[in-house]
């Protein structure tokens, strides 16, 4: 098996790719992961894999191989991977957005060792950088409205409110990344509005569908979503001991 036996498909070629590359490096797991930018949004993937075909008739690798014009990139999808991860933005302001589409994809891409596992960032990958400080006591109440997303003001807001006003200088070491990840996990539980314990066991993070259900409800009723970066949850799902926890955070066995 290849040393890079986990395929990580990210939406964008710049911010998404660089963030995941940085996290893989900081947590010392980059050698196992191959990061590949998809180059367009989640609705393109939906249109080609769900609208125009029956996803049960093909897997994600076959789909990507069929639609990839670059021979070098196409060869990546010929290899075997133990796990497949997909990192995309919700983009609720996009003209192609549909709650039903997102739900269908979240239900299909629910297992990394099977069809692949989808991580949705709310409203987009910039959520990782939307902190005035590390930690940011106000992060738990940050939201993004449809109006500011449609006008393009949200990205400008993140740039203005980011602690360093420079993404390359934000969360550059493990301690800061640990804190950003912990805050997003804590906020995810607040968003999902469900107990951490199930059958007597404490869960690390809510299921993606549990978060999505509440975010879509908030979007429908309040025309906004809670700022949340879920792609960072993969770090603790890969190995919870990579994160430094404290008594105010989740208790791990």
Axis crossing angle, helix 174-192 with helix 15-26, rounded to the nearest 10: 110
Judged against a pLDDT cut of 50, whether residue 253 lies above it is answered with no
pLDDT digits (tens, 9 = 90+) for 122-135: 999 999 999 999 99
Over residues 108-134, mean pLDDT: 96
Domain boundaries, the chain: 6-242
pLDDT digits (tens, 9 = 90+) for 34-50: 999 998 899 999 998 88
Residue 248, pLDDT score: 52
Residue 251, pLDDT score: 36
Residues 112/34, Cβ–Cβ less than 8 Å: no
Instruction: Report how far residue 148's alpha carbon sits from residue 152's, in angstroms, rounded to the nearest whole number.
Output: 6
pLDDT digits (tens, 9 = 90+) for 126-163: 999 999 999 999 999 999 999 999 999 999 999 999 99
| Range with top average pLDDT, 58-67, 132-141, 188-197 | 132-141
Global pTM exceeds 0.85: yes
CA-CA-CA-CA torsion for 11, 183, 209, 43, nearest 10 degrees? Answer: -20
Instruction: Report how far residue 142's alpha carbon sits from residue 226's, in angstroms, rounded to the nearest whole number.
Output: 6
Judged against a pLDDT cut of 50, whether residue 1 lies above it is answered with no
């Amino acid at each position: 098996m290849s040393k890079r036996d986990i395929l990580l498909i990210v939406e964008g070629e710049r911010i998404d790719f660089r963030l995941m590359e940085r996290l893989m490096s900081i947590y010392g797991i980059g050698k196992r992961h191959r990061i590949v930018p998809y180059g367009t949004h989640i609705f393109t993937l939906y249109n080609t894999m769900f609208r125009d075909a029956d996803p049960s008739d093909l897997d994600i690798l076959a789909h990507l191989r069929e639609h990839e014009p670059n021979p070098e990139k196409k060869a990546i999808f010929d290899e075997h991977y133990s796990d497949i991860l997909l990192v995309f933005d919700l983009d609720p302001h996009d003209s192609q957005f549909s709650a039903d589409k997102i739900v269908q994809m979240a239900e299909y891409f629910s297992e990394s060792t099977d069809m692949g596992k989808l991580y949705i960032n709310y409203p987009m990958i910039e959520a990782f950088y939307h902190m005035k400080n590390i930690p940011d006591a106000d992060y738990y109440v940050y939201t993004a409205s449809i109006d500011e997303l449609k006008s393009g003001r949200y990205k400008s807001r993140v740039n203005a409110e980011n602690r360093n006003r420079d993404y390359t200088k934000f969360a550059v070491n493990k301690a800061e990344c640990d804190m950003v990840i912990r805050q997003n996990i804590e906020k995810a539980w607040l968003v999902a509005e469900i107990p951490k314990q199930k059958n007597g066991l404490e869960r690390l993070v809510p299921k993606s569908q549990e978060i999505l259900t509440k975010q879509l409800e908030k979007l429908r009723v309040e025309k906004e979503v809670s700022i949340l970066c879920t792609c960072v949850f993969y770090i603790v799902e890969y190995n919870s001991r990579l994160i430094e926890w404290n008594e105010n955070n989740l208790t791990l066995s």
